[in-house]
């Protein structure tokens, strides 16, 4: 519709190496078209995406390459636990 604006999308991508003794870090972030491209790549590579506006607001303040601060450990740990559980579920169309 004329005059209708699309909500601005914002994403932050994290990387966590469970074998490393360091916290997750920000590997990508963006708004608008950049955010859409990050989401497209995540879908293409079957990387789970979770929407959490409150956590996004805090993570978006970080720079790419920056480790998450200790204040966010609990929230990010909850996110990682969610993703771990999601990865344990059998994929649709595959044997369990």
Tell me, yes or no, whether 76 lies in a domain. yes
Tell me, yes or no, whether 16 lies in a domain. yes
Residue 46, Ramachandran bin (φ over 0: left; ψ between -120 and 50: alpha; else beta): left
The pLDDT assigned to 16 comes to 85
pLDDT in tens, 37-94: 999 999 999 888 888 888 899 999 999 999 999 899 888 888 888 877 887 876 665 5
Tell me, yes or no, whether 5 lies in a domain. no
Check which CATH number belongs to the domain holding 63 and give it.
Answer: 3.40.1690.10
User: In 8-25, which positions are buried (b, 16+ CB within 10 angstroms) versus exposed (e)?
Assistant: eebbbbbebeeeeeebbb
Q: Which domain holds residue 64?
A: 10-88
d(CA 24, CA 42): 17
**Number of domain units in the chain:** 1
d(CA 64, CA 60): 9
Tell me, yes or no, whether 29 lies in a domain. yes
User: Terminal CA-to-CA distance of the chain, rounded, Å?
Assistant: 46
Tell me, yes or no, whether 19 lies in a domain. yes
Tell me, yes or no, whether 81 lies in a domain. yes
């Amino acid at each position: 519709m004329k005059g209708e604006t699309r909500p601005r999308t914002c994403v932050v991508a994290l990387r966590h190496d469970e074998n490393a003794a360091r916290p997750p870090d920000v590997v990508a972030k963006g708004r608008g078209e950049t955010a859409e491209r990050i989401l497209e790549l995540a879908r293409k590579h079957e990387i789970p995406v979770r929407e959490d506006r409150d956590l996004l607001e805090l993570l978006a303040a970080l720079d790419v390459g920056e480790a998450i601060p200790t204040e966010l450990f609990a929230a990010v740990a909850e996110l990682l636990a969610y993703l771990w559980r999601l990865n344990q579920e059998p994929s649709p169309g595959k044997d369990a």
